[in-house]
Amino acid sequence: MRRRTFLGAAAVGIAGAVVPALGAEPASGKPFRIYRVTYRGRTEVEDGFDDYLAANGVPVEFIERDANRGAVPMADFVAEIRELKPDLVYTWGTPVTLGIAGRYDAKDKQDFITDIPIVFALVASPVAAGLVADREHPDRNLTGAVHVVPTETQLRAMQSYRPIGRLGVLYTASEQNSVSIIEELRRLQGTMGFGLVERQFRVDAEGRPSPDGIEELVGEIAAEGANWLYLLPDTFLGTQYDRVTPAALAVKLPTFGAAELAIRQGGALVALISRYYSVGQLAASKAVKILRNEVPVGQIPIETLKRFSLIINMPVAKQLELYPPIDMLNYAEVLTG
């Protein structure tokens, strides 16, 4: 049963779904108004968010806006929010959230919304991004749902598929988030008993990460005895799956993804991810608490999900001849196409 512990925790994050709807009407009798800014159009996150509100009988009216992958200036949204005065602002992803809420320690707060509650979804690391100082106590007009699966949980899932001897990682040295994950891996190798093989993407003349020599780097990782390649949530790596995973497959190195894209399009063998739909539900549970005035927004902790989804890529497993332990089939989603 040990191998199920990473999935077995209670679904505290969405436990709000069973709370009966009571007194959700706004004082005016009209539905609540939520100003919603997405980054790249509507995703499953919004489906989960809307369904949760509906299931809890919270009447809402959305003002939908899209940042079109950052093409729209954030200042426009801020100005419109000030004008419309919605009950709540919803933001998708780190750039949008930073653009509207600003850093918690920003010197000039003029350009940001500081008086209307903001709920975010899909921010990987709110502390590293400077949105809040402490996830447990946001202490400002902002809370939300984090979608990243904790690194240790990822490693345990990896280990239950196949024990980690040496773990290969390929990352971008200039990405702060990746560097802190690498530091965490270094700490974990002692307690979990595995070795670490690290490689960084090469940089071009301007110091930006470059895809040059990816196959060579992956080959070096395999040659140093790695038996897993961990595709950590590195932004540059996210754009290079089509070169990294074939290179790994060529040297029979199984890959483990931390993002849904890594397995759905990137060809990783296994991935442990938060479902977008569930992340939306978790964010909505926080929105409900705010709209019902149950808890001041600054006291609602920023959380991640307690249950994650394991996805297995069967065609890759066949190519590697590395099949999953059969009891994993009881709970994993298996891709066959």
Q: What is the rounded CA–CA span in Å between residue 77 and residue 67?
A: 9
Binding site for another protein (CB under 8 A): 1, 314, 317-318, 321, 323-330, 334, 336
Query: In whole angstroms, how close is the CB of 272 to another protein at the nearest point?
Result: 18
Query: In whole angstroms, how close is the CB of 323 to another protein at the nearest point?
Result: 5
Query: In whole angstroms, how close is the CB of 163 to another protein at the nearest point?
Result: 12
Closer residue to another protein, CB minimum distance, 110 or 336: 336
Closer residue to another protein, CB minimum distance, 73 or 165: 165
Sheet with 303-304: strands ordered across = 60-66, 32-38, 88-92, 118-121, 142-146, 303-304
Closer residue to another protein, CB minimum distance, 250 or 334: 334
Closer residue to another protein, CB minimum distance, 102 or 324: 324
**Which residues have CB under 8 Å from 4's CB, separation 6+?**
331
Residue 172 has what DSSP assignment?
-
Query: In whole angstroms, how close is the CB of 322 to another protein at the nearest point?
Result: 9
168 contacts 150 by C-beta, under 8 angstroms: no
Closer residue to another protein, CB minimum distance, 117 or 254: 254
Quote the tokens at residue 107.
Answer: 């010197």
Query: In whole angstroms, how close is the CB of 333 to another protein at the nearest point?
Result: 12
What's the number of CA atoms in the CB half-sphere (13 Å) around residue 3?
17
323 contacts 317 by C-beta, under 8 angstroms: yes
